[in-house]
Amino acid sequence: MNKKSILKNTICIMLSIAVIISMSGCTSFNNSSLKRLLYMEAFGVDMDQEKGEYSCTTQIFDPMMGAATIQEQDKPITRVIETTGESISAAVAAMTEQIGRKPYYSQNKVIVIGEEIAKEGITSMTDYFDRDWETRLTMQVLIGSPDASGIVKSTLGDVINPAEELQLIAQAGNVNGRVPECTVLDIKKALSDKYTDFCIPVVKAEGEGEDSKVTVESIAVFKGDKIAGYVPYDDARGVLLLNDEIEKTIFVIKIKGVGNASMNIINSKTDLKVNIENDEIVCDVYVKCEANIPEINIEDDSIEILNEIDSIQDECEKQIIKEMDNAAKLTVNEMGCDIYGIGRRLMYNERDYWENIKNNWNEEIKNVKFRYHVEAEINRIGETVNQKSKQN
């Protein structure tokens, strides 16, 4: 080995040792700089109508509360601080009066907005998080019903870190296909475009201690920065289908003479095309999805399932159309909200028509007509169902 190679290897080793030493110092919870910070995990904002003040509920992580090892952590390592102030900034600053540490936002996972604030307008709140350089715009946002305080204070069955559980609830759409994700950035983009609206999941807290839980109740649809209405949880999947946000979900299809078939959607793609026909705005919705059938509760053992695949596909397509149509009629035709980008598509595809109606878009959108084109393809069925079908 020549001298240059030896020198190069020596320098690399020395740099590696320096990095390891510096990292060990930073990761120690006994580091004095870390002790001075207030690690925010979940943040809730309500309005005290009588006092005209903001009421903030913050779930914080205290490194000094954590156990020495993960195995020893059998109780929550977070606690809750409640403060008030004439502004959100003042309420956050008041935290230092209780704990004497500087709030640190970068670790915050979820923001919960009280329902009353959401009805009156959330611009001031989103501005606060948008303008603070320490915050992340990718934080999940939920609406707390009836308030944010109960959601943030819930221990969710006394889990170690309730804020992480809240974050999973906010992201549950990629598991169940019924909860749309919404971040501070999503809200910021929508509020900067007067022709685009948005929606946020609404959650409620129930029970106490080990019996406490937080569940999604509905979807709040916003017009501007205020709630315009709600989509019931049972109809929420139609919203995600229209927005091409379905990763996976399960449809239970009732097939006459066969039984209940569980359709496990594993791949879905939605395209919206907006055009003018006979001086009317028409939105064509194209959906293609692939599914498996993990189980069928067969009513008649003499039925050969393989012969019923087409019928099951047809019923699945009808169910998808029904759910999308319910969501479209409620959010677009009744509320007059554009959470699907219809106005933007019309602007690009039919520019002259758009210029004539854009100033009255809030009313024009209620007249949009929807047409649905759905193709559902079954790739495979459960092994037990398949064997039973062959036996018949």
Q: Is the pLDDT of residue 385 over 80?
A: no
Task: Give residue-wise pLDDT tens across range 263-319.
Answer: 899 899 999 999 999 999 999 999 999 999 888 877 666 666 677 788 889 999 999
- The C-alpha angle with vertex 318 and arms to 314 and 323, in degrees rounded to 5, equals 150
Report the alpha-carbon distance of residue 84 to residue 282 in Å, rounded: 49
Q: Is 2 exposed, middle or buried (0-12, 13-18, 19+ CB in 10 A)?
A: exposed
Who's near 296: CB < 8 A, 6+ residues apart?
A: 258, 259, 260, 261, 262, 305, 381, 382, 385
Give yes or no for residue 72 having a pLDDT over 60.
no
Report whether 352 contacts 265 (CB < 8 A).
Answer: no
- Cα–Cα dist 87/145, whole Å: 21
With contact defined as beta carbons under 8 Å apart, do 107 and 179 qualify? no
Q: Degrees (nearest 5) of the Cα angle 29, 30, 34?
A: 60
Q: For residue range 38-63, what is the model confidence (pLDDT) as tens digits?
A: 788 999 999 988 888 999 999 988 66
Give the Å distances, CA to CA, from 46 to 99, 169, 358. Answer: 21, 20, 35
- Segment 113-138, tens digit of pLDDT: 999 999 999 988 888 887 776 678 88
Cα dist from 111 to 143, 171, 210, whole Å: 8, 13, 23
Question: Binning pLDDT at 50, 70 and 90, where does residue 10 land?
Answer: low
- Residue 173 · residue 181 · CB < 8 Å: yes
What is the pLDDT at residue 44? 96
Q: Which of 88, 219, 26 is nearest to 141 (CA)?
A: 219
CB contact set of 166 (below 8 Å; sequence gap of 6+): 42, 109, 110, 112, 140, 142, 151, 156, 214
Least confident of 75-84, 179-188, 198-207, 343-352: 75-84
pLDDT of residue 95: 85
Return the minimum-mean-pLDDT range out of 64-73, 159-168, 253-262, 302-311.
64-73
When mean pLDDT is compared across 15-29, 140-154, 262-276, 280-294, the lowest value belongs to 15-29
pTM, rounded to two decimals: 0.84
Please provide the average confidence, as pLDDT, over all residues in the chain.
Answer: 84
Q: What is the reported pLDDT for 331?
A: 98
Domains (range + CATH), the chain: 35-232 (no CATH), 248-392 (3.30.300.210)
Name the β-bridge partners of 143.
113, 202
Local confidence band at 73 (pLDDT 50, 70, 90 cut-offs): low
Q: How far is CA 215 from the centre of its chain?
A: 13
Degrees to nearest 5, angle at CA 29 with 91 and 105: 30
